[in-house]
Structure 1
Amino acid sequence: MGMTMTQKILAAHAGLDEVKAGQLIMAKLDLVLGNDVTSPVAINEFNKAGFDSVFDTEKITMVMDHFTPNKDIKAAGQCKQCRDFCGEYKIKNYFDVGDMGIEHALLPEKGLVAPGDCVIGADSHTCTYGALGAFSTGIGSTDMCAGMAKGKTWFKVPSAIKFNITGKLPEYSAAKDVILHIIGLIGVDGALYRSMEFSGEGLKNLTMEDRLCMANMAIEAGAKNGIFAVDEVTLDYIKDKVDREYKVYEADPDAEYEAVYDICLDEIKPTVAFPHLPENARTFDQIGDIKIDQVVIGSCTNGRIEDMRCAAEILKGRRVADNVRCIVIPATQKVYLQAMQEGLLEIFINAGCAVSTPTCGPCLGGHMGILAKGEKAVATTNRNFVGRMGHPESEVYLASPYVAAASAVTGRISQPSELTD
């Protein structure tokens, strides 16, 4: 029996000719990632273990993004600990305020991940980099510690689910709608410890931003990782970013999958995930009149330049509804600058939005948009668990930038087709 993309990457990094689902392997790492929340725990364990060096100063990265710019004294202390550690061990890829971004948007932009890489990160949405044809997965801070010191870690080889993508998205439907549709279809544990592998002729109609959004939310279906077949879209994206050798892996024709799903993009409608799970996906024929208090457009899922453009398309010449707060957060400094140069920030500000420096901010209930008791928010983020964005009795509805922007204008959960000039 042949191997999937993920299995081939893991086999190569373990120095094996082949691996099988369920097999335990030790694999070499191409990148170890941490942020301002998870890195301090790893650093503490690193020091406790008595390590006095890292395996490679260019293959470790720390991104200060969750509570930065520092929201309080504890956040400031966490960032200082990371800053000092990276200075002491001469970690090349340390990113802080002014030269940073939300980690899972920043690393692809910086060319730090390439096809065929094996990446771990002390953040569950590290699965984002599967969009580039890499194996990437979230791990705990103690595993991050070991990875920083030794450059390798243990994995149990996952089995896989295949998603055959066909067609092209209709107007005002987005990649966020696709992944919410899929999670609604299979459930939040539908891909538990499996690899979600995306292929098919429809991939050519999904941009890299689309793929990054979808791979990012593989974990919301319980997946070990999400991964996209490498094609011309991938290679065009990395050609001016990745300056090292890499290897493209393809699934064998006889690779074994536990299930195969056919996803026709033509049929995807604007979708909203209701509280308090991403699997609670509904299309607008199932959504009533739900008034909202806040809209958040950003995050590692939907804070890239295409997302900014989608939101600006809807908000241009319109105003955010009374009693609604709309917060726009470009995911990186580059996205912020490009949005400014394209006039998108002017559109947002004229519409009555608040525009933030890059930060995870409200996505995890950090800062820059915490919800009060009873408040409802439409967000382009990736999770809507109880208390995710603030008070345990607040509610978060997940949606695309199109739906989020339209909802900001109407003051209730809406799709762009409901707006009239």
Structure 2
Amino acid sequence: MSMSLACKLIARAAGRERVTPGEIVTCQVDLAMFHDSSGPRRLAPMLQQLGAAIWDKSKVVLVMDHYVPERNEDARRIVRIAREWAREQDLPHVYDSIGICHVVVPQHGHIRPGMFCVGGDSHSPTGGAFGAYMFGIGATEMLGVVTTGELWVQVPQTIRMRWDQRLPPGVSAKDMMLAMIGRFGMNGGRYQAVEYAGEAVRELAMPERMTLANMSAELGAQVGLVAPDEVTQEWLEAHGAPGVDFAPWSSDEGSADEEHGFDASALAPQVAAPFSPANAGPAGDFAGTAIQAAYIGACTGAKLQDLRFAAEVLRGRRVARGVRLLVAPASHEDRDEAEREGVLEVLRQAGAQMLPSACGVCAGYGDSFAADETVISSTARNFKGRMGPPSTRVYLASAYTVAASAVAGCIADPREVLA
């Protein structure tokens, strides 16, 4: 019988030759990731109460990204707890204030094809872009993982999203995701495994595949998977994980429980209206909506590829009067490479204000937008009250569309600017 990629990954972690959807199995965890918000301040007291120790410190990664830079006493307290606990535990993999966990962790070679990983954050499915089974869990489940190295999971069904043809200029993985969420809703993944396939997916660079896997959370999936290939291998070799064998990690023909097809060549830039990523439709449907701020940030919208997209639009242009363009690169690595390529200079010349590489406004910590402001953002979520007061209206879009809208002073189709 054929097996999906999700089944193969779980079978390996469970020490089984095969598994079938619906089974409940116990898996050995290869990596546990958490950040300053989800990790030590919750785990440390529980571990102390139990008198328990971490099962394997080499398999734990801690990232400080949510409450940094510290803007108030509460943030300073939370980050101090994380830093002190990391020193006490002598953790070997700690990344402090250098970017967002979902970008920093793979950039340091921690996620590779075939792994079974968990993260203390809902966007942990990002790891699926590398052919790893990775999903978010809560603090109680994480306590079990860090003390035993094990976690039970119910083997999911696989929903295959096949994207044929190639994306046109000005259209990106963010548009693909918003289109799928708009079509199927935020429970369209039914907490199963969603696998992205087809020519358009194979043509995507790794940062774009990471966006697909990441926003599987907004689609309601447990994991979002892309079968690894030469693109994956080349990216990992450049990030400290050479010699990766991707051959075993692909779905067998006919193994998907459900399949949906899309024509990538016909996809228009997408925008999601307040207050849900599911309120998505072609950018032209929202054209002319005045904005006061444009934000290029977060793990879904400010990786190196996103910064390049924005520069394509902004080169030789200026942000419209009365509009603030804020840019928070997803990691220091992405920021530094964008600086070397001249990408950040293009953004600055256009009038962009650079912000620290952290979760920032997207996570609702520290900075936020003002009451009654209308914002277009490359983030993953636009829930009421998340990025400002309840009256703040946030539209979601790709970095292309955010940049084009910043220039126009209103929501705009980036293809018109690029043309």
TM-score (norm 2): 0.95
Could you list the structure 1 runs, at least 4 aligned residues long, displaced by more than 4 angstroms after superposition: 243-247
Q: SS state of the match for residue 137, structure 1? A: strand
Q: SS state of the match for residue 218, structure 1? A: coil
Give 1:145 deviation, angstroms.
1.9
* 1:54–1:306 distance in 2 versus 1, CA, 3 Å: same
Give 1:256 deviation, angstroms.
4.0
- Cα deviation, 1:1-48, whole Å, max 9, x if unaligned, reads 422111111111111222222222111111101111111212222222
- Cα deviation, 1:316-357, whole Å, max 9, x if unaligned, reads 222111221111011111111111112222222222211012
Give 1:112 deviation, angstroms.
0.6
State the distance in 1 between where 2:37 and 2:249 align. Answer: 33
Aligned length: 416
Amino acid corresponding to residue 251 of structure 1 in structure 2: S
State the distance in 1 between where 2:332 and 2:283 align. Answer: 34
| Equivalent residue number for residue 354 of structure 1 | 353
| Equivalent residue number for residue 162 of structure 1 | 160
| Equivalent residue number for residue 294 of structure 2 | 295
State the distance in 2 between where 1:384 and 1:8 align. Answer: 35
Q: What does residue range 96-245 of structure 1 map to in structure 2 within 5 Å?
A: 96-97=96-97, 100-240=98-238, 241-243=240-242
| Equivalent residue number for residue 406 of structure 2 | 408
Amino acid corresponding to residue 296 of structure 1 in structure 2: Y
Amino acid corresponding to residue 58 of structure 1 in structure 2: S
State the distance in 2 between where 1:256 and 1:265 align. Answer: 20
State the distance in 2 between where 1:29 and 1:102 align. Answer: 22
- Cα deviation, 1:123-177, whole Å, max 9, x if unaligned, reads 0000001010000000001212221221111212111101122211101011110
| Equivalent residue number for residue 398 of structure 1 | 396
State the distance in 2 between where 1:202 and 1:64 align. Answer: 34
Query: Contact 1:165 / 1:262 at 8 angstroms: preserved in 2?
Result: yes
State the distance in 1 between where 2:373 and 2:50 align. Answer: 45
Q: Percent identity?
A: 35
Amino acid corresponding to residue 255 of structure 2 in structure 1: A
Query: Contact 1:167 / 1:205 at 8 angstroms: preserved in 2?
Result: no
State the distance in 1 between where 2:418 and 2:145 align. Answer: 54
| Equivalent residue number for residue 273 of structure 2 | 274
Q: SS state of the match for residue 33, structure 2? A: strand
Give 1:202 deviation, angstroms.
3.2
State the distance in 2 between where 1:347 and 1:133 align. Answer: 34
State the distance in 2 between where 1:327 and 1:302 align. Answer: 12
Amino acid corresponding to residue 271 of structure 1 in structure 2: Q
Query: Contact 2:372 / 2:391 at 8 angstroms: preserved in 1?
Result: yes
Give 1:301 deviation, angstroms.
0.7
TM-score (norm 1): 0.95
Unaligned stretches of 5+ residues in structure 2:
none
Pick which of 209-218 and 140-149 moved more: 140-149
Pick which of 148-157 and 116-125 moved more: 148-157
Query: Contact 2:170 / 2:400 at 8 angstroms: preserved in 1?
Result: yes
State the distance in 2 between where 1:358 and 1:13 align. Answer: 33
Give 1:230 deviation, angstroms.
1.4
